Amino acid sequence: MRAAVPAGGAGRGQRDPVLAAPGVLRYNRAARAPARMEPEATMHLLAPLAMAGALWTGGLAPPAPSDSLPVTRALPDTMARVATAPNWMVASAHPLASAAGAQILAAGGSAADAGVAIQAALAVVEPESSGPGGGCFILYHDAARDTIWAIDGREELPAWNRSDMLMENGRVVAEPWTGGAAVGVPGTVDAMSRLHALAGRLPLRQVLAPAVALADTGFPVSPDLAWASRDNAFRLRRYPASRALYLRADGSPLAEGDRVRNCDLADFFRHWADEPTGRFFYQGDLARAITATVGGDRFRKGRMMQADLGNYHAPLREPVTGSYRGRRIVAFPPPTSGGITLLEVLGILETRPAPPDPRGGDGALLAFLDGLARASRVAYADRDRYLGDPDWNPGVPMRDLLDPAFLAGRAQAAFDPAAPLDSLAEAGDLPAHTTHFCVVDAEGSVLSCTSTIETVFGSAMVLPGWGFVLNNELTDFNLVPAAGGDAPLPNDIQGGRRIRSTALDGRVPPGGKRPRSSMCPVIVYGADGRPELVLGSPGGSRIIGTVAETLLLLLDHDFTLAEALAFPRLHCRNRPLEIETWRWNRGALADSLRARGWPLAPLESWPLLQGDVQAVRILPDGRRRGAADPRHDGAPRGG
């Protein structure tokens, strides 16, 4: 983490009071034991998958931090996993998933084929974050047709659920995120099947083959999966199928390097290959297994019916589009709040001069953080008031949040020097644990997909006999219902089914309400109208801030991908500021921000909630450069 002192920064023998590196590196993995890869058990699987395992051992751990040098730039490129290739590139949260996508692209598959392969592989090797039991938002640029598709695979509320389903004696129940009552109707399988039908080139059986091999043969537990097992062991122990897969035989958590096999999940993928439409998931034996598991949960049963599954479809949505300093930015529309809120943040900042380069010293860093926080503060206020499932809020003009006149007014509110930063911002008046992966194929088609089962290990329920984790997405609704007589807010729980009037296609039957998300898959287009950058991140409602900051660093200040992905992060969700301070002097930074009027959340409270950005950039010479966030286990692969 050593870096040169910039012009105007601290000189020899001096310490930059805000930017000096602390004594503890939050994500320092140098001390952990190398993963036990057992290469002989993996090599016969798929050579690319075996080779990807080497990314967990040696060479990539960050160096020990220094207390003696100021740090005013992002970490060296070796801190982030970066790859450059002439034809195609993938980046995902796990090297084995990236290798699965790379194998499909090398075989002539499209970005859509690779995306399905990556999602399936992530269900095996990163089961705590996504899988068939969850949902996703897919943004796909088809180069041959010059078309952008936004496929909404968000989970749905079962029709018979009540607004107080997670309330007890006037309070939200303890541990609402565990058990059947939190499970929404999964959407990932229908969305991925639709993506493959629209733009896939290879047979689905071939696309799913890497995931089948990984599940059948087994894989070594990554650092992130070991952490998830340890942190959720008390939840996983409640369910025999979960305990059998993601705890050791004695009930203790998995450790890095342990081996996990999931033959039930391999069989699930074989079923899917036999029925590429994916509708087998929503009817028959599998649908009955899901409803029986949700409704029979002894901890907290849910009310999902087979009709809820049978009515589920992943509709096409109209993407939201904005601009930032000459570039077109395409993002996902509601029911995720991510796209509109991101574009509102950027639109507010574009009304002012570009924020200063945060590498320019104390004053520049603080101005950068303050500006991003102010724009985020008012954008989140609007998000909370106006955004939700558009089919349940037809009278809310959500896209008016991006109207230039509205943005100008919000910028004035955001940067009002008299604004009390220690209180919640008011919404403007309108004229209203997750994973991410990216693919760019040889033809220039681009996929940006954020996928989830909500919190780590979702509901903690593995579907017996099928091998995947069920989501707990219903906790993304406002759990406390509106007071008697008050109109429901856009993200309140409302039972029943409604026509998907905002879908772009006619194939979608009435469905249940979809909880508001913050997922934010993004594609950035250059002056020539072609995609030049694709990225996204997990992180709950912090996703928007992570993506916004990364875009500012890349577009305003020409950071490299490695620098931007390693840069410490700020989150302002219309509440006390959260600052990732593992590379800055905590005390001096906190004092400087408080002096500007900002209340701060505890600086130590969320080391694993700072996102896991995956990004691919298309360079001017046509090469593809991918990067994976250094905070976690991901890796890019190119060819």
Q: What are 106's strand-pairing partners?
A: none
Closest CA to 192 of 211, 217, 171, 215: 211
Residue with tokens 């919190």: 455
Q: Is 438 left (phi over 0), alpha (psi -120 to 50) or beta?
A: beta
Active site residues: 434
Contact (Cβ atoms closer than 8 angstroms) between residue 79 and residue 566: yes
In whole angstroms, what separates CA 57 from the centre of its chain? 25
Helical residues (DSSP H) of 65-187, grouped into ranges: 95-106, 111-125
Report in angstroms the alpha-carbon separations of 143 from 425, 443, 446. 42, 7, 8
H or E, element range at 587: helix 586-595
Closest CA to 616 of 98, 58, 60: 98
Query: What are 261-265's contacts with CB under 8 Å, separation 24+?
Result: 261/215, 261/216, 261/217, 261/218, 262/124, 262/127, 262/215, 262/467, 263/215, 263/216, 263/467, 264/465, 264/466, 264/467, 265/123, 265/124, 265/211, 265/215, 265/466, 265/467, 265/468
H or E, element range at 294: helix 284-295
Dihedral sign for Cα 276, 446, 383, 539, please. positive
Closest CA to 518 of 341, 285, 292, 363: 341
Longest dimension (CA), the chain: 72
Q: Specify burial of residue 336 (Cβ count, 10 A radius: 0-12, 13-18, 19+).
A: buried
Question: CB neighbours (10 Å) of residue 252?
Answer: 11
Could you write out the three-class secondary structure of 541-569?
HHHHHHHHHHHHHHHHHCCCHHHHHHCCC
- The DSSP 8-state label assigned to residue 499 in this structure reads -
Residue with tokens 């009540």: 162
